[in-house]
Amino acid sequence: MPELNEQLADSSSAATPLAVGQRLHAFLDAERVADDLRRYFAVGLPPGAGVFTGGRFEHLAGGGERQQVANRFTAEDLIAVQTLSVTVPAPVALDLLEGPLGAQLSELLRNIPTGTDLADADVSVVAEGSPAYQAWTLLKNQHRVGFVIAGKLLARKRPRLLPVYDRVVRCALGRPLSFWTELRTALRENDGALHHRLLDLRQSAGLPQTVSALRVADVTVWMAHPAPGHRCP
């Protein structure tokens, strides 16, 4: 995708809110986006028949945000993040399921709204010091967890509000001071044009509505990046 590489090469690595949106738009402009999404989510195939295990991330056991489990981590959540090629260390997993870590995070999850898109959320919901930020920090600081696993765990619990931010996304969209708040800004610009574009792409690819706009963005980036000629240090 030479056009994609050229657009990304012109973007600043500092990644202002506008740069995050510009970089994401560059991926969405690629010709095969809808086909890539269908392939990733195995559209038209029975569950388990797809090539990419990540297509089950938000759907496994009915999802992590359903009412019965929205405010606690379950064994299904731990398996779900494995579909995204990460594994929660066993001591941390046990603490999440049965220990004080799980209790602390449950209290924080109760104060993180469900069913809310990042584009519609007040900035205070994802700002530094918010319950979401506290939950991410608490998880990130666990032994052998780090920012990638912490982010994927929270994306499982609040898929419409909290994006996956791993090394591929960081390479592609940059390293802003606060990825959550700056992505929110990009999604809201021009009357939410980027957010609506992601939802339109979800529809054109035939994906279920349980796939959030954030996951459409994440999968689009993951399927296309890194491309030849654009590698991160």
pLDDT digits (tens, 9 = 90+) for 145-179: 999 999 999 999 999 999 999 999 999 998 898 99
Q: Does residue 110 lie within any of the structural domains?
A: yes
Cβ 72 vs Cβ 106: under 8 Å:
yes
Q: Does residue 168 lie within any of the structural domains?
A: yes
- C-alpha span between 197 and 6 (Å, rounded): 22
Average per-residue pLDDT in the chain? 90
Q: Which residue, 97, 91, 95, is CA-closest to 73?
A: 97
Domain range spanning residue 71? 2-224
Q: Does residue 230 lie within any of the structural domains?
A: no
Overall residue count recorded for the chain in this entry: 233
Evaluated on CA atoms 42, 149, 162, 68, the torsion sign reads positive
Q: What is the pLDDT of residue 231?
A: 61
Res. 222: pLDDT tops 50: yes
Q: Does residue 232 lie within any of the structural domains?
A: no
Domains contained in the chain, number: 1
pTM of the model: 0.89
- C-alpha span between 167 and 149 (Å, rounded): 11
- C-alpha span between 147 and 96 (Å, rounded): 16
Res. 225: pLDDT tops 60: yes
Tens digit of each residue's pLDDT (9 = 90 or more) over 85-126 = 999 999 999 999 999 999 999 999 999 999 999 999 999 999
Q: Does residue 233 lie within any of the structural domains?
A: no
Cβ 80 vs Cβ 149: under 8 Å:
no
Q: Does residue 229 lie within any of the structural domains?
A: no
Q: What is the pLDDT of residue 152?
A: 98
Q: What is the pLDDT of residue 192?
A: 97
Q: What is the pLDDT of residue 18?
A: 46
Tens digit of each residue's pLDDT (9 = 90 or more) over 191-202 = 999 999 999 999
